[in-house]
Structures are given as structure tokens and as C-alpha cells.
């Protein structure tokens, strides 16, 4: 059947197929999962809940008043990062580590552009050491 006699010319059918492939081929979950996240390069160190690494007499008590437990996915941030939006409760993805961490502590004023990651085991914390990495943090809704 010639194109001029078809209810929809062939070129419209091809456009429709191309649009359907484009829509189905995109992973909206990936786009949605990255929406509202900012990227930042920081220095990352590690700590555990050993008394010599935390407040003596108040093991696991953070500057925000949270009580950390071994195995929590928590980080402390330098105070300059708080001004950038890494406030208490902010969700953070840490390059090289699985899952999402939560800002639950803040560091001494002397530190800049730095995070401190809570590890359950001292051996793992020492293996992590000090690294320059990229993090992603979830930006709070303005509304």
C-alpha cells in the first residue's frame, strides 16, 4: 500500500518506534536516583568507636548529640562542609564504599574539606587510611 493511502505514513511509524525505544531504553530509576545529589571532592579519613578516637567517657556521643553504635553508616564532616549543605542527617555516598552514609558528627574547626568515616573494625579503618575521594550528598529540598 502506498504511503499516501496509509492511515499513518511510514515516517510517523518510524518516529513512534524510535521514541518508544528511547523511552524504554532509558533507566528512569538511575536518573531519579541521581536527582538532587551534589558531587564534591574531599579528603576522607576513618575512625572507630575506640575511646582514644572519640570523647573520653562518652564513647560514640557526637557533637550533634547522636549516640553512634558499631556498624552505623555514619560520617563526621568538617564545619566548612556544613555550610555547603552537609548538615546533620544529610545522606552521603562515599566513593569506594557501598551504601549510603549519614552525617551524624562534626569535626573540630581546624579541619577543612574533610570527612571522617566510621568503621566497625580498627583494621578496616587503618586499611582505609587517608584518601582524596569524591562524595555525593543529597541536597535538602528548598520547599
To the nearest whole number, what is the mean pLDDT of the chain? Answer: 82
What 3-state DSSP class applies to 97? Answer: coil
pTM, two decimal places: 0.73
Confidence of residue 8 (pLDDT cuts 50, 70, 90): low
| pLDDT reported for residue 67 | 95
User: Under a CB-based contact definition with an 8 Å cutoff, are residues 88 and 134 in contact?
Assistant: no
| pLDDT tens-place string over residues 51-104 | 887 767 788 999 999 999 999 999 999 999 999 999 999 999 999 999 999 999
36-138 is classed in which CATH architecture? Beta Barrel (2.40)
Query: Is pLDDT larger for residue 101 or for residue 32?
Result: 101
Q: What is the mean pLDDT of residues 109-118?
A: 97
- Determine whether 46 is exposed, middle or buried from the number of CB atoms within 10 Å of its CB (0-12, 13-18, 19+): buried
Q: Which residues of 81-112 are buried (b: 16+ CB within 10 A; e: fewer)?
A: beeeebebebbbbbeebeeebbbbbbbeeebe
Whether 2 shows a pLDDT value over 60: the answer reads: no
DSSP 49: S
User: Above 90 in pLDDT, residue 34?
Assistant: no
Q: How confident is the model at residue 5 (pLDDT cuts 50, 70, 90)?
A: low
Name the burial class of residue 80, with classes exposed (0-12), middle (13-18) and buried (19+) by CB atoms within 10 angstroms of its CB.
middle
Alpha-carbon distance of 53 to 29, in angstroms, equals: 39
**Nearest alpha carbon to residue 63 among 110, 107, 113, 111:** 107
- Degrees to nearest 5, angle at CA 56 with 50 and 59: 50
Residue ranges of domains in the chain: 1-35, 36-138
Stronger pLDDT, 10 or 87, i.e. the higher one = 87
Question: In the chain, helix, strand, coil percent, each to 5?
Answer: 30, 30, 45
Q: CA 119 to CA 127: how far, in whole Å?
A: 10
pLDDT of residue 4: 55
Amino acid at each position: 500500500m502506498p504511503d499516501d493511502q496509509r492511515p499513518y505514513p511510514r515516517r510517523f511509524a518510524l518516529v513512534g518506534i524510535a521514541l518508544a525505544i528511547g523511552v524504554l531504553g532509558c533507566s528512569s530509576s538511575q536518573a531519579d536516583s541521581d536527582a538532587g545529589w551534589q558531587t564534591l571532592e574531599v579528603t576522607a579519613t576513618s575512625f572507630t568507636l575506640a575511646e582514644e578516637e572519640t570523647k573520653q567517657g562518652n564513647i560514640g556521643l557526637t557533637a550533634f548529640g547522636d549516640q553512634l553504635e558499631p556498624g552505623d553508616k555514619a560520617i563526621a564532616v568538617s564545619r566548612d562542609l556544613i555550610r555547603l549543605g552537609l548538615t546533620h542527617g544529610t545522606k552521603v555516598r562515599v566513593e569506594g564504599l557501598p551504601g549510603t552514609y549519614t552525617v551524624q558528627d562534626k569535626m573540630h574547626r581546624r579541619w577543612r574539606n574533610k570527612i571522617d568515616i566510621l568503621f566497625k573494625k580498627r583494621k578496616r579503618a587503618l586499611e582505609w587510611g587517608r584518601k582524596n575521594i569524591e562524595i555525593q550528598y543529597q541536597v535538602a529540598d528548598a520547599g
